[in-house]
């Protein structure tokens, strides 16, 4: 779905799931009836608080109720999608999380500390120049130790064993 701006939180809501309930009340020829679990993928800039765009063919405006729920990812592992990452720049997106990730840090072996990554408006996490000790091929930097903070405050550690669209 595309989520309204007030609840999109500058893309921190990307990747979270909602239960959408429709009673068929509204206008148009294709009513929303019943419950569905949906995945937040985009921003609906014209939607008001509590509204969603289901991105389905059809017309109408339907009254719906939304409730945040854990994503039904089963026993899958976290995944990391990389975009434009190289020896000097890291840009990744966390996937298969049950709840949104609101903080992400990467371990800095040279300084022995966690360095916070910056969240971008397109749903990725960024770390610019200075991440690595010297510019070498990205695969030489793995495994990368990651610390993820969930919207509920729970912190977990994970590691990325390969750069690319791979499972951690």
Any idea what the CATH number is for the domain that residue 140 is in? Answer: 2.60.40.760
Residues 92 and 133 in one domain: yes
Domain residues for 29?
A: 2-69
Confidence of residue 10 (pLDDT cuts 50, 70, 90): confident
Between the alpha carbon of residue 100 and those of residues 15, 25, 55, 59, 95, the distances in Å are 6, 30, 21, 30, 9
Residue 7 DSSP class:
H
pLDDT, tens digit (0-9, with 9 covering 90-100), for 16-40:
889 999 999 988 888 889 999 998 8
| Highest averaged pLDDT of the listed ranges 3-7, 120-124, 153-157, 161-165 | 153-157
Spell out a b/e string for 126-154, using b for 16 or more CB atoms within 10 Å of the CB, else e.
bbeeebbeeeeebeebeebebbbeebeee
Residues 56 and 129 in one domain: no
The pLDDT of residue 168 = 43
Residues 45 and 91 in one domain: no
Please count the CA atoms within 13 angstroms of the CA of 89 that sit on its side-chain side.
7
Given a cut of 70, is residue 58 above it in pLDDT? no
The pLDDT of residue 132 = 57
Percentage, residues of the chain above pLDDT 90:
31
Given a cut of 60, is residue 133 above it in pLDDT? no
Residues 9 and 54 in one domain: yes
Any domain includes 74: no
Domain termination residue (choose one: 14, 42, 69): 69
Residues 17 and 52 in one domain: yes
Domain termination residue (choose one: 69, 90, 124): 69
Residues 94 and 18 in one domain: no
What's the whole-number mean pLDDT along residues 63-89? 87
Residues 98 and 152 in one domain: yes
Report which of 79, 76, 158, 55 is spatially closest to residue 114, judged by C-alpha positions: 158
pTM of structure: 0.72
Residues 83 and 61 in one domain: no
The pLDDT of residue 73 = 85
Residues 93 and 136 in one domain: yes
Confidence of residue 135 (pLDDT cuts 50, 70, 90): very low
- Strand 61-69 with 52-53, pairing: unpaired
Percentage, residues of the chain above pLDDT 70:
87
Query: What's the domain count of the chain?
Result: 2
């Amino acid at each position: 779905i595309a989520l309204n701006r007030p609840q999109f939180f500058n893309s921190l809501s990307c990747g979270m799931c909602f239960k959408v309930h429709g009673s068929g009340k509204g206008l148009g020829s294709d009513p929303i009836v019943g419950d569905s679990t949906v995945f937040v993928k985009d921003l609906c800039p014209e939607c008001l608080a509590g509204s969603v765009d289901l991105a389905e063919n059809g017309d109408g405006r339907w009254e719906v109720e939304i409730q945040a729920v854990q994503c039904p990812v089963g026993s899958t592992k976290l995944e990391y999608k990389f975009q434009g990452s190289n020896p000097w720049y890291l840009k990744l997106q966390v996937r298969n999380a049950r709840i949104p990730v609101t903080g992400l840090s990467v371990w800095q072996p040279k300084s022995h500390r966690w360095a916070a990554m910056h969240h971008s408006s397109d749903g990725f996490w960024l770390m610019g120049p200075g991440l690595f000790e010297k510019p070498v091929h990205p695969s030489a930097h793995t495994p990368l130790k990651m610390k993820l903070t969930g919207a509920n405050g729970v912190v977990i550690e994970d590691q990325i064993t390969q750069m690319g669209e791979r499972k951690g």
